[in-house]
Amino acid sequence: MPVGKRIVIIQGHPDPSGNRFGHALAQAYADGAREAGHEVKLIDVARIEFPLLRTQHDWESGALTEPMQDAQNAIGWADHLAIFFPLWLGSMPALLKGFLEQVMRPGFAIGTSDSGPGWTKRLGGRSARVVVTMGMPALVFRFFFFAHGVRSLERNVLSFCGIAPVRETLIGGVEADAGKRAKWLDTMRDLGRGAR
């Protein structure tokens, strides 16, 4: 029997109440993963206090809070990341962006190159699934808006740090009827089982 993967779920919804559809999707993913024998850790960004980075110095060498160190340790432990967030103004909520700026820092996610200027990717060997909920139809976001906010996360954060492959699930019309929501929850359980 194959060995299970180590999965970190990053819940990027800024509402700490935990009662949004994105929370249910992440829970279904976690349930499926655990059923299949994978280990799962959760980072709930809305429940972590952290300052925003304001200078290059802060990003390159500012002190990390203990919750940010814990988040880095979890990401370092993981084989696979599953990132859940709602689409706000075409991209991820500011709280999730601030979290990623804190944890994906030089020395952890990227390093300087010994062979000259540039960066080295330090999070290779990990894959990711990005799950985004939105009110508009997902096809409109993908083909009219070119999913620019999600592409930016995939290219400029995850791939930049060496995480690949990065797959996405765009869920439009989150105000859908209960039947459609149930199908999406089933899909998330299946993705969690496969750690993909």
Find, among 147, 151, 153, 173, the residue nearest to 21 by Cα: 173
DSSP sequence for the chain: -PPPPEEEEEE--S-TT--SHHHHHHHHHHHHHHHTT-EEEEEEGGG---PPP-SHHHHHHPPPPHHHHHHHHHHHH-SEEEEEEE-BTTB--HHHHHHHHHHS-BTTTEEE-TTSSSEEE--TT-EEEEEEE-SS-HHHHHHTSTTHHHHHHIIIIIGGGT---EEEEEE--TT--HHHHHHHHHHHHHHHHTT-
Along the 196 residues of the chain, how does pLDDT read in single tens digits?
457 999 999 999 999 999 999 999 999 999 999 999 999 999 999 999 999 999 999 999 999 999 999 999 999 999 999 999 999 999 999 999 999 999 999 999 999 766 666 778 999 999 999 999 998 888 888 887 778 889 999 999 999 999 999 999 999 988 877 889 999 999 999 999 999 9
pLDDT for res 66: 96
pLDDT for res 2: 57
pLDDT for res 159: 96
pLDDT for res 16: 94
Residue 9 in tokens = 């779920």
The model's pTM? 0.94
pLDDT for res 161: 96
